[in-house]
Amino acid sequence: MYKILKKEELNPTVTLMEIEAPFVAAKAEPGQFIILRVDEEGERIPLTIAGYDRVKGTITIIFQVVGATTAKLNQKAEGEAISDFVGPLGKKTKVENLHKVCIVGGGVGCAIALPIAKKLHELGCEVTSVIGFRSKDLLILEEEFQAASARLIVMTDDGSYGKQGNVCMPLRELFAAGETFDEVITIGPLIMMKFVVETVRPTGIPCTVSMNPIMIDGTGMCGGCRLTLCRDGKRVTEFACVDGPDFNGYEVDFDEAMSRGSIYREFERHAYEEACNLFAEKEEK
DSSP string, 93-140: PP-TT-SEEEEEEEGGGHHHHHHHHHHHHHTT-EEEEEEEESSGGG--
Count, residues in the chain: 285
**With 70 as the cut, is the pLDDT of residue 282 above it?**
no
In this prediction, residues 122-147 reach a mean pLDDT of 96
Answer yes or no: is pLDDT of 178 > 70.
yes
DSSP annotation of 201:
G
Average the pLDDT over 184-193 and give the result.
95
Domain with CATH 2.40.30.10 in the chain: 2-89
* pLDDT for the residue numbered 272: 47
Helix (H) or strand (E) holding 202: none
Per-residue pLDDT band for 261 (boundaries 50, 70, 90) equals: low
Q: Distance (Å, rounded) from C-alpha 242 to C-alpha 244?
A: 6
- Give CATH 3.40.50.80 domain extents, the chain: 99-210
pLDDT for 75-130, tens place per residue?
Answer: 999 999 999 999 899 999 999 999 999 999 999 999 999 999 999 999 999 999 99
> What average pLDDT does the segment 233-245 reach?
89
256/202: higher pLDDT: 202
Average pLDDT, the chain: 89
CB 180 within 8 A of CB 205: yes
Provide the whole-model pTM.
0.86
Fold for domain 2-89? Elongation Factor Tu (Ef-tu); domain 3 (2.40.30)
CATH number for 99-210: choose from 3.40.50.10880, 3.40.50.970, 3.40.50.80, 3.40.1650.10.
3.40.50.80
The residue that leads in pLDDT, 39 or 277, is 39
Helix axes 190-200, 168-176, angle to 10 degrees: 10
> Side-chain half-sphere of 46: how many Cα atoms within 13 Å?
24
